[in-house]
Structure 1
């Protein structure tokens, strides 16, 4: 019998656990860890972090891994839940394209928790994280429909990050637990029964989406732990008649994406780091608005704005219009095309748009709401043809003197074709970390994270994450 996709993925995971990845790949992954830690520190004051942390602490259990928001050690599965919630809470986490999911926020918290619990080296952590992200992205690609330029998960109202990320998190955790190839295949089969998540909150409100990556990380650790204790999963869990792809994508999935070029073509290296703390679909519109500012377009002279987007994106950040031009909270402002354009034209900070632009106070700003109300969101054919290889946008400003100004953004900032520089990545980390840490602490954490490829364990880094001398800022 030929190996199943789960068995192929398990073989890759087991091979990498034994032989390791090249240093440049590990260095890239260390940058992802830095980005994730910064995003997590910045999210410590959020309501979701407070709620999840309180629940996780109430569970009790062995102190195995650091929960960033509590500065305490919790059982590995609970720490993964807390840190995954933090990682995704501000929508500042990275994105894989064209699958349109956020792999690091689900996988890295699980990997960090188990690596700390078992005393793994930094290299082992980075190797496991890379394979977990690879598995997550390949599952997302199996659920991507090229003809429709869209994720099947997304089209069906499912949160691919939470669903695929559970499996990737489980593989990463299983590698760090030292599972063999057969056990890693079972990890995949077990985790396929654990992922879930719907995206209705993007449309009409609620903060549950902030917990999706935390629950995926938590479930991934649990799946690996169950396999470690002898539970088994079906070898055909991914492609089988009643398997993962059929259950979540029907007959539209492409199972070949799970293994095509496995080990040579790395989806894990096709990840886009966000420069702005808001939904990734909004970023090109922000870049276009920032270009308008650079062209010295006075926002007060703007009579109308048209934001052209890929057709599948319009409903996510442009509808319902009433909710998008008047977001109900700072969090929902981060999912609004009209509001993010207004924020870029009137606010700013950080790398162009900052956390301060997505507070509850900011979305009540009369000037921003007035400008957001001038934004009309429409599908644009050229943007649609590019999506989702990129998340493009075209912004047209009509001015009081009768002239117009057009800015078209085809390539996203922070992606492989237009990456953030190391200095920009560090700037983003500092902005995030200094919301709850002193500048000196932030620099120390950044230094330790950069040294992960050669670190013998995570003891010093996790201790630094628990060391709090600054009071958390309010959002």
Structure 2
């Protein structure tokens, strides 16, 4: 029996098959939805501090404020940063990879020359490869990348971006395999800012998109990578993941089972692990319970998520910034109990002034998180929560949800997705958004993917005029 091809070549062959033969209908529709959702996240993130910093950095070498005039890697860097700036982009469990915040910006950075159908195919391939790289890092339900302090979206997204960019550059199988191999040397991103503060995390998605784009460009011009860059002794799997790495996860049922179909489209601009608790708090508020009636709230959550949204307790009860508040179950629940905007919490609810609001801080201090037996046993297939609110009159309200809103088990309705997109893109010209809606309906604009760029030019320009992070 012949030796199997190196992993980078197997992934390259998969990518080219998808480009040539097309996507399964469900994957095509999921990718079109991701384009709409991520485009909205880019628009909403354009005026944030991370996106402004990247835009101004790019302006040092590339004067002008038209995104379409930037080199591909530079455009990808800004688009990815903006897409991930509010943590409103889609994600997947248990890998914790945010695939579309890297794949969609990478594709959009190549929209000047890409046919619309190839844009969707390349996006799906990049997202799928990123998610499979995340699956290769799983040790049971835990990510070995997370345990090492490595940001899964950045480390895994770089590989996916190389595939997306390579397809849209027209690389053949050999050069596409080299692009993937080169990308393993460019992958990076640490999670310490999530723990103690900092605004670098959104940039990780931009860096991954730019790094993958650069890897594909270098491969196109003749740079080569190691054929065993993934599985080799000093390759990606051993260097970043270690003994728990699963090479099989990268290629098992490749093309038949799509991890991309298991992503969560977020209803709230907060870390996904907070979502079931936010939903229950929103329900409690809708039942007429006022914050001043609440004595304490206990949240039963899956044990593995507590380190992200509940620890350390003091920091989560009083986050230092609006961005940090997105990663706090106590604070986001307090916001929802006060009656947030949108579907329960809106972007305007999580500005920096909010984390200094005495009423929100007082309620967040009375929200306590603990591991729930039911929730831990069901995780990661199901992300649930039980909320128990003890009121000052001694009564207890108990609410429970087994699956998070936006998951494949409970997808957002078309109206909810459209409402999110409309809110996120409110500052952009409505006419310029028509091609995005058409692409989502799988009815591409006659001008092709380039029609997606005018609204992004407007979003990019906003990065030079905004004063504060939303």
1:320 and 2:316 aligned:
no
Pick aligned residue for 2:101 from 101, 105, 120: 105
- How far apart are residue 444 of structure 1 and its match? 2.6
Q: Deviations over 1:300-350 (max 9, x none)?
A: 111111122211211211112221111111111111111000011003111
- How far apart are residue 83 of structure 1 and its match? 0.4
Aligned to 1:27: 29
Pick aligned residue for 1:144 from 132, 138, 141: 138
Greater mean alpha carbon deviation, residues 442-451 or residues 421-430:
442-451
Aligned to 1:85: 81
1:224 and 2:216 aligned:
yes
Aligned to 1:157: 149
Q: 1:316, 1:24 → 2: CA distance?
A: 32
Q: Deviations over 1:20-74 (max 9, x none)?
A: 224543232111111111111111111111110011121228x9xxx8xx65521
Pick aligned residue for 2:437 from 447, 450, 465: 447
1:366 and 2:358 aligned:
yes
On the 8 A contact 2:291/2:338 being kept in 1, the answer is yes
Pick aligned residue for 2:205 from 208, 213, 220: 213
Q: 1:179 to 1:265 in 2, by over 3 A?
A: same
Aligned to 1:52: 54
On the 8 A contact 1:26/1:453 being kept in 2, the answer is no
Q: Deviations over 1:267-303 (max 9, x none)?
A: 1111110010011111111011112123332321111
Secondary structure of the residue aligned to 1:115 is coil
On the 8 A contact 1:150/1:388 being kept in 2, the answer is no
On the 8 A contact 1:310/1:381 being kept in 2, the answer is yes
Q: 2:300, 2:137 → 1: CA distance?
A: 26
Aligned to 1:17: 19
Q: 1:445, 1:263 → 2: CA distance?
A: 29
TM-score by length of 2: 0.94
Q: 2:31, 2:424 → 1: CA distance?
A: 19
On the 8 A contact 1:27/1:453 being kept in 2, the answer is no
Aligned to 1:278: 270
- How far apart are residue 423 of structure 1 and its match? 1.5
Q: 1:89, 1:259 → 2: CA distance?
A: 31
Q: 1:92 to 1:32 in 2, by over 3 A?
A: same
Alignment of 1:91-130 (within 5 A): 91-116=87-112, 119-130=113-124
Q: 1:101 to 1:383 in 2, by over 3 A?
A: same
Q: 2:441, 2:381 → 1: CA distance?
A: 32
On the 8 A contact 1:343/1:368 being kept in 2, the answer is yes
Q: 1:42, 1:100 → 2: CA distance?
A: 22
On the 8 A contact 1:98/1:390 being kept in 2, the answer is no
On the 8 A contact 1:23/1:453 being kept in 2, the answer is no
Alignment of 1:163-202 (within 5 A): 163-202=155-194
- How far apart are residue 224 of structure 1 and its match? 0.3
RMSD: 2.0
Q: 1:272, 1:378 → 2: CA distance?
A: 23
- How far apart are residue 115 of structure 1 and its match? 3.1
Secondary structure of the residue aligned to 1:305 is strand
- How far apart are residue 259 of structure 1 and its match? 0.8
On the 8 A contact 2:432/2:454 being kept in 1, the answer is no
Q: Deviations over 1:219-245 (max 9, x none)?
A: 000000000001111121111111111
On the 8 A contact 1:26/1:123 being kept in 2, the answer is no
Q: 2:17, 2:67 → 1: CA distance?
A: 35
On the 8 A contact 1:114/1:221 being kept in 2, the answer is no
Pick aligned residue for 2:129 from 117, 135, 139: 135
Q: 1:454, 1:71 → 2: CA distance?
A: 21
Q: 1:98 to 1:333 in 2, by over 3 A?
A: same
TM-score by length of 1: 0.93
Runs (5+) with no aligned partner, structure 1: none
